[in-house]
Amino acid sequence: MSNIPETGRTRRVTIRLVVLQILVLSLLATLGGRLWYLQIRNGSEYTAKASNNHIREVVDPSVRGEILDANGKVLAGNQTKLVVSVSRTSLLQQKDHGRAALTRLAQVLGMNPKDVQDKVRLCDAKTAQPCWNGSPYQPIPVTDQATTQQAMQIMERREDFPGITAQPTAVRQYPAPDGANAAQVLGYLSPVTDDEVSKTADRTGKDKYLPSDQIGRAGLESVYDGDLRGTTGVDRLEVDNLGRVIGSAGTTPAQPGNNVVTSIDSRVQKVVEDNLVQAMNDARTQFDKETNKNYVADSGAAIVMDVHTGRIVAMASAPTYDPNLWVGGISAKDYANLTNQDSNVPLLNRAIQGQSAPGSTFKVVSTSAAVAAGYSLDGHYPCPKSMTIGGREFKNFEGEQFGDISLEKALEISCDTVFYGLSYDQWMKDGGIHPKNPADWFYKTAHQFGLGAKTGVDLPSEVTGRVPDRQWKQDFYTANKDAWCKQADGGGTDFATQIARENCVDGNVMRAGDSVNYAIGQGDTLVTPIQMARIYAALANGGTLYQPSVAKAVVTPSGQLVREIAPVVSGKLPDDQKTLQYIDQATAGVITEGTAAWKFTGAGWPQDKIQLHAKTGTAEVYGKQTTSWLTTYSKDYAVVMTISQAGTGSGGSGDAVRKIYQALYGVDDKGGIDNTKALLPTPQTELPKFNPDGTAVLKVSWSRPTPVPAQPALATDLVALEPRTSGRSRT
């Protein structure tokens, strides 16, 4: 008798069918649950996403805010130009990757086809300029110098120029009011990179970068980029499944950036720039007896600072460049000239990035240190022609000797040996090469004067300079001991090897020679011009150290105040009023009877009417000619100039600094004062006034570029396509 059921299915088959039924029911349940989740639970979300698939966003760049001088003149503005741009994405979709279209474009623009192709290639480690370092999805500008006729040819024959557009666009412009350059202060723009876009992808508003953005890369353009950039607008267009526009889904208008008002006076800036260049040219005509050739005068910097606020009235750096070179993309040749050593790297702002030994301008610090260490202002100290310390002879400048003199006289005539003696005596009190709890007054005082640290000026990439104290000596020794010992083992007899041999043994020891050289601003000491300007401004105002600043306020495009940037007190000089008055009197003597007298009172400066104070410095640099330093102040301004390889402080910089003061106060070459010719007899404290349209109410007539919309629609007539270059004057 068979065990097979009448249905013909075995038990195993039945189990399998049951399992299959369970699986089917489970899948149906899962599918049903998922449909419920998508259509009911999250239905609105996916409906919105589906709707967005038919929305295309068109970016409307904002107009970048302007950078204005203290009178409202435009230092960095905008101008409408016809910009021809290429979509790299569109090119890559063509069979020949757009080569034919680019060739036709080059013919229309009168350019070399290879130059056009190079401009639209992407930058990488192996690709030299010109190339594109922005987002590959952003339209790449080929030129901003297109004519109306060229733009019409491109836009009327779109089938021949796929992915290529010609549009009136707001382009950055640096108009140089009054002829002032200020390149290193202003900075420049360049396209945002993919990394920068991705890092800000989760942000909103001004902090978010879009692929089409240009952002500040240096100077004020960088520091105040968030204020200047504005907010990008978006036009949302409805499209059908073929990508054709069928309507609008709303528009978020672009918000123009705010303007930054600076303390720079473009008239003074021009005077400072011109006199710095003239001083360098004059130095190159002078013969250097030490090297038996003319001075090189290869670089320099000059600063005019308001002593009451720390605000920068003028800041010049040489060599310089035209910031308009960056507009529309910089060429390979221009980029090389800005960055290579042959041109001495004009991109550097030597006012805040140039470091050198300060020479005798440092002696005001050493005087304060001596007083703090207990040496009397009423005392007299020997000024022989030389001193032998640690087996080495340390000479006075040109072998001069003046017997026992006061510290005031030592500052006035810049006697090195007085400061050698004070520093050596203090070094001995601190324990010499075996110190025990050294007071280190000379190093401590330098830190109290703000040296060895950034001043905090509102410009990027400021350097700290260097105070070569005991901690620095130890750190430097640790980092270089192996290299010194290796050089010493080489057995050479040259000077560098001898120094390496000494340093290998005890390079971390503060020797007597280190201390005495330091006291006159030599040795391993490094300062920047901005640091010295702040110090001499503090001497002028009674001892207050201000944080230097360039920007005074942020205002809207219509001139309404957004925020004022108030002066910031960052410290106090360690001197009491008696010491400050003593130094004040000594530095006035430098002008009347000391090392700068031949360039000031001897050249007709009216010291009895406008009292100036100064300290000259001639810093020795191993392997180079001497660096000229001249640090000065009046009751209103501190003016500092330094020129590398230009000779003595007064000889290299004296005439130029005097002419800057002459322009500020309206002083002629014979010492007469004409207030009507004074550019700025007292520092300007008020912000400029603005007209309802946002233009500044200028005291003198001056043409300003017309404010422009960010991305106006391309017109079809020649008049609308014509770039706007005219300006309007306000008096």
Strands 259-262 and 67-68: parallel
Give residue 626's pLDDT band: very low, low, confident or very high (50, 70, 90): very high
Instruction: Give pLDDT tens digits for 355-383.
Output: 999 999 999 999 999 999 999 999 999 99
Average pLDDT over residues 231-252: 71
Closest CA to 156 of 724, 721, 711: 721
- Between the alpha carbon of residue 486 and those of residues 479, 504, 506, the distances in Å are 13, 9, 15
Model confidence over 97-122: pLDDT tens digits? Answer: 889 999 999 999 999 999 888 888 88
Q: What is the mean pLDDT of the chain?
A: 88
For residue 242, what pLDDT is reported?
59
Q: Which pLDDT score is estimated for 49?
A: 53
How, if at all, do strands 544-547 and 551-555 pair? Answer: unpaired
Q: How far apart are CA 663 and CA 639, in angstroms?
A: 12
Exposed (0-12), middle (13-18) or buried (19+): which is 211, by Cβ within 10 Å? middle
What is the reported pLDDT for 299? 97
Report pLDDT digits (tens) over 577-611: 999 999 999 999 999 999 999 999 999 999 999 99
For residue range 167-225, list pLDDT tens digits in order: 777 789 999 999 999 999 999 998 887 778 777 766 666 667 776 678 999 999 999 99
Q: What is the mean pLDDT of residues 506-532?
A: 96
Percent of the chain predicted with pLDDT > 90 = 61
Taking only the tens place, the pLDDT of each residue in 466-511 is: 999 999 999 999 999 999 999 988 888 888 898 899 899 999 999 9
What confidence score (pLDDT) does residue 147 get?
87
pLDDT in tens, 262-300: 999 999 999 999 999 999 999 999 999 999 999 999 999
Going by C-alpha positions, the residue among 203, 249, 253 that lies closest to residue 230 is 253
| Nearest one of 74, 9, 81 to 723, comparing CA atoms | 81
pLDDT confidence bin for 155, thresholds 50/70/90: confident
Per the model's pLDDT, the better-predicted residue between 425 and 205 turns out to be 425
pLDDT class of 51 with cuts at 50, 70, 90: low
pLDDT of residue 725: 35
